[in-house]
Amino acid sequence: HQVNLVKHFALKSHPKLSEVAFEEGLYHGKGMGWIEGGVLSRLEIPQCSVDRMAIRLPGHNVLCVGDHVQGKGEFDFLAADFFDGTWWELQVENGEAHFGERRAYHLALSLAMHDQYIKPSTLEGSYSGSHAKVAFEGLYTHLNLSIDALVSSETLAEVFQTKQYHGLSDPLMVDLDMKLETTRQQMGVTGTLAFIRDHGKDDGIEFGWNWDLAKVKEGEFKKGLELGWFKGEHLSDRTLNLPLLFFNKSFRGKGEIGIEGTFNQNAVEFTVDPTRISYFSKEISIEPQFKEGEKAPSCTFYYDFSGKGWRGKIPLKEVRVKEHTFGITFDTFTSEVDLEGTEFVFQNVDAKADDVHFDAEILLDFSQEKYSDLKIHTYAIHGKASDALCFLRHFEMFQGAHFPLQGTISSGPGEMRLHAKVGEEQELLEWKVALNVKGGHYPFSPTLAFQDLEGSLYYSADEKRVVVEKVAGMLSLTAGEIPRFFDLNVPLLEVDAQEGILVYDCRLEAPTYEICRFVGTGKQVDGVFSLLLDKEQTRLYGAQIDVKEASFTEGNVKRLDIETTLSALDLVHHLDFLSASGLLPIHADTLDEMRGPTVKGEIALSFFHDIAGEKTLFKAKSGGLSLGQVEIDHLSILGRKEKETFKFEQFEIGALSASAEMMQRDNRWEIPSFQLVWKESYLKGKRAYFDGETKELILPIEGLRFNLGEVSPTFPQSAVDWNYLKGIFFSTGKVVVDFSSGWQQPSFDSHLTLVGEDFGKGKLRLESAERLSISYHPSSGLQIGNAQIHFLHPRSNQLWAKCAFDALQYCDEQFTAQGVKLVVPPEMVTFLGQTKSLPHIAYEEERLIVFGYPVRWDNQLEGAFELSFGKKIGAKGSLKEGYYWVGDRAWHFNRFCFDVEGKNLKLNVDTAIADVPFECAAHLKFDDQFCSRIEIKEQTKEGQKDLPFVLVTDWNDQAGFFIQSIEGCLCGLDFAFHRNPKDSFLDRIALAGQLKINGYRLARFLPKSAKAMMEEFEIGRGYELSGNLLLSKTNFEESQFSGYLKGKNFHLMGSVMETLMSEILIHPKAIELSRFNLSDVSGIFSVETIRLTENSDEGWELFIPELAVSDFRPSLLKKIGQYPSRIKPLVIRSLYCHSIRGNLGDAKSFTGKGGLSFINTFKRDYHILDIPLEILGRLGLDMGLLVPVRGELD
């Protein structure tokens, strides 16, 4: 009652106190008040405490309760401002505040105020599982607040007016700092809201707004909100996802964003920087793909508080979009996205998925809780066919479409429409697609493919129907020498997916006939697809095929039963087709032989396969087939597989028969024994098996007999002369075949012994010294490694020759041999020639005949080489140092090496002639235009600097092969000849130049007769031939040299002569010198003509018609290597001879006639030893006759 009395006096000055009702409480304290004019003007409370206080504001349905309240203060009720001249303090312990059904509890208040200043005060309490502490101080018009709170999801749900989300880990820690600036009409609020996290970075949002105080005092906080703003940078996805959680949105963000916006009492509008944020949902995910430094276009959003509807603009630029229902990933996705309520409208979509380009419009509606509604409408689709098939496999209808189709696929405006439920509930409501194929290529193998394919595919999910129309293209078969092409014609191809029915009519056609045709239907029943072919219309090269049953389960054969009968001609057509396609390699000449002149007979074929019954049966039977030169008197094949056993009950093809049985044991097929027999050849083995885990076939070979002579009839058009390859081979060992890389790519490894008998025409015997390692792999080809083959004498059976090699390999049409070493004695070479065991090699009259030329061969051939031929041709090797017979002469080769690379040959030979060492090097190019360079270097004595002999040849279209130049020194000859293009033609080679001759060096390399002649005439150095050399390409006898024979200070008959000049014409069998003039201080020699002709019986014959010498003084001749002698009086004034004839090398054969005149006058002093003329005269001797002064001789 005392409290109400105070209230009564205060009502006159503060009528608002009438809204406060003090309902309960035990008040302790004292106070003083002043009443003036019936009005309480001043109140002073030194102390006051209340227990269990309850104060109600009935008009606002608010009840405040406190277990213990303390307070004091002074209040001036007559002041213009209530807060002027007042001060007060208030503490509340364990208080509560009830706002209707809502309750704040555990309230603790500590408040102190002096005049308009609020001292540092605190308020702490809990609400709906949240706990907060508020610290505030300052003027009441400029108040600073700091709130630390742990906010529960229940509180957030109440704030956002949504259902409580239980996925949030309670509570949420926030830190709110605010400033309140109050005027008489409004309150301004600014501050920062920070989300505090134990792990990860904190996020902060700056904000501010203005409130209309009049409406706030009336409790209309929302209407009083005039204008607000907020801004946050680098906000984490945990902050971003908070409103998405409480608005029950299924999509989330990951990364960080920047946000900035404004709001008022009606709506909020903001922009988002999505550069570093990704979005994820059950239906779709969006990931940015911006480079460092790039920024994404900003997104704008608008939310209407009253209508509770969203609007927004989301520009997407080259982002990655993942659709989770069908598993489609768009590697790049560009679109303008409009948000209207719960609908996302993707306009101007420019996207690429599985490298297929799309122009489209997409609508995604999130209005339903369990699913989202997806609609896609395309304007254009284009891409590679293989990529388009990869895209289609995302849909159930096309999940089995694994085809190696190449080309391009396109679709026009409106030719693909998709409507589906995506999310928790998934349903394809509508899907229609039309695709057009152009430039298609469908390979079955590298040599068999459809090409230039065109067509259109239509599919409608409503009708459950696939239609293929306007199919065009051709089938190419390129394994043969001439490619073949057949037109593809598909008049009908439809699939009713709902009923599971396929209707088809597919044809391959040549211009004048039909290759094959498949007509029929297919139906799906209980998961089994049965293919029914029309027996009358289905044909293959004119032959009817009776397909009794063909059923499939999940794309695999379930049951198959086929029968057909082919004529011999049909069989040839089928084999021709298979050969041209590369499926069955058959030589074209063999097929030509099969076509004529006789082709008759027929063959019956049947095949049965049942997966459920675990049975397979294959039959082939013929009473006789004539395929040209191939005659098969009978054929009967019966193979049967039942459960775990497979057996060839019968296998006979003419002279070929086979038998084998296989049994399955767990994951292993065992072959107790197997045998293959063909005429006199056979293959036998036992205890073979196939390991299903390692995919290896182990074949122990107990006996292999192979007669090479029996191979020849199977190659009627082969270029190989099988007479050189006759023989019988025996082998034992082990073969391991590896199928781990697939049945189409097997490999094998083997270790076999090898013995051969009656090999070749010489009937040689050979054997391997050790087991041969023979292997094959698709990548490395066929290999034989580390082998040693011994050739044995056919009669004595002793070791005769050896051949060893490190490796032989055949891969990708390339044969290589490495580390080959061969040792063949001359006796074996002679034997091979006598027995004509090698092509173009024979033996007659103790000479080896090689390509028709006799060669003396007494050499043991011992060398090493490597070679390769195929796509690349190459070889290199060497002969062991030693003597080798070439022709009728033994040559000592210090080095003999060759290197062949493609069409280039390099040859290096070091040998000696007449004890003079030579180094020979040849480089030959066998291109379309042959050219070569041959260099011979004579190892002269130290100090000699002769240039090496070099012969260069070339080729052109006008002259063909020609010699470009001959230069350098060889055997005393110094060459300097170059091509004369003016006189060069296709049938002859023209060279111009000179040849210097050193007779001393040349003589040692000449035959004995020629050497004796040069030594007899003492022909030395100082000679030169200059002129034109013509070499005939067609007939060497027509070759010639014409020019001049020159000499200067040349050596002849032991003397040095001054000059020589003569015209010369040299033929292979004749030499003619004209106007031969020799001039020297000792005299002048003139010969009009000198002729040398080859006489087959007596060698070379010399004929000189006339010889004239004048003023020849013998004492003036300069002897080689001597000082000039004393001049003597003898002078031959003239010497004339004619009809001089004889054979070179036979001095006695020379004859001739002539005469001479001379003088011999002299005058000299007597010598003490001279016999006095008086004495000689007394003896009766005529001194004038003993020393003639002049004379003539005939």
What is the tens place of the pLDDT at every residue in 157-212?
Answer: 666 555 554 445 557 788 999 999 988 788 899 999 998 877 777 889 999 999 88
Q: Give the integer Cα–Cα distance in Å for 696 and 668.
A: 10
Q: What count of Cα atoms within 13 Å lies in the side-chain half-sphere of residue 543?
A: 20
* Range 816-820 average pLDDT: 89
Which phi and psi angles does 1014 have, rounded to 5°?
-65, -35
- In this structure, are residues 564 and 547 in contact, taking their beta carbons and an 8 Å threshold? no
As given in the structure block, the two tokens for residue 774 are 């023979």
* Range 103-122 average pLDDT: 91
Spatial neighbors of 966 by CB under 8 A, at least 6 apart, are 949, 950, 951, 952, 975, 976, 977, 991, 993
* Range 96-107 average pLDDT: 88
Q: Model confidence at 1166, in pLDDT bands (50, 70, 90)?
A: very low
Concatenated DSSP letters of 550-563: EEEETTEEEEEEEE
pLDDT tens per residue, range 1121-1138? 787 777 788 888 888 899
Q: Model confidence at 621, in pLDDT bands (50, 70, 90)?
A: very high
**Mean pLDDT (the chain, rounded):** 84
pLDDT at 1167 over 50: no
Amino acid making up residue 526: D
R_g (Cα) of the chain, nearest Å: 59
pLDDT tens per residue, range 234-272? 888 888 777 777 666 667 888 888 899 999 988 999 998
Q: How many CB atoms lie within 10 A of CB 725?
A: 14
Buried b (16+ CB within 10 A) or exposed e, 1074-1113: eebebebebbebebeebbbeeeeeeebbbebeebebeebb
Across 74-78, 206-210, 339-343, 599-603, least confident range: 74-78
Q: What is the pLDDT of residue 1168?
A: 43
Strand partners, 345: 338, 363
1181 versus 839: the higher-pLDDT residue is: 839
pLDDT at 1188 over 70: no
- In this structure, are residues 737 and 747 in contact, taking their beta carbons and an 8 Å threshold? yes
Relative to beta strand 1083-1095, strand 1070-1080 is antiparallel
pTM of the prediction? Answer: 0.50
Q: Give the integer Cα–Cα distance in Å for 551 and 554.
A: 10
pLDDT tens per residue, range 957-985? 888 889 999 999 988 899 999 999 888 88
Q: Give the integer Cα–Cα distance in Å for 907 and 893.
A: 13
Q: Model confidence at 65, in pLDDT bands (50, 70, 90)?
A: very high
* Range 605-614 average pLDDT: 87
As given in the structure block, the two tokens for residue 297 are 């276009």
Buried b (16+ CB within 10 A) or exposed e, 140-165: eeebbbebbbbbbbbbbbeeeeeeeb
Report percent pLDDT > 70 for the chain: 91
Query: Nearest to residue 49, comparing CAs of 33, 25, 65?
Result: 25
Q: Give the integer Cα–Cα distance in Å for 687 and 334.
A: 67
- In this structure, are residues 95 and 67 in contact, taking their beta carbons and an 8 Å threshold? yes
Spatial neighbors of 208 by CB under 8 A, at least 6 apart, are 188, 189, 190, 191, 228, 229, 230
Query: Nearest to residue 931, comparing CAs of 916, 952, 947?
Result: 952
Q: Model confidence at 717, in pLDDT bands (50, 70, 90)?
A: very low
Query: Nearest to residue 201, comparing CAs of 232, 167, 234?
Result: 234
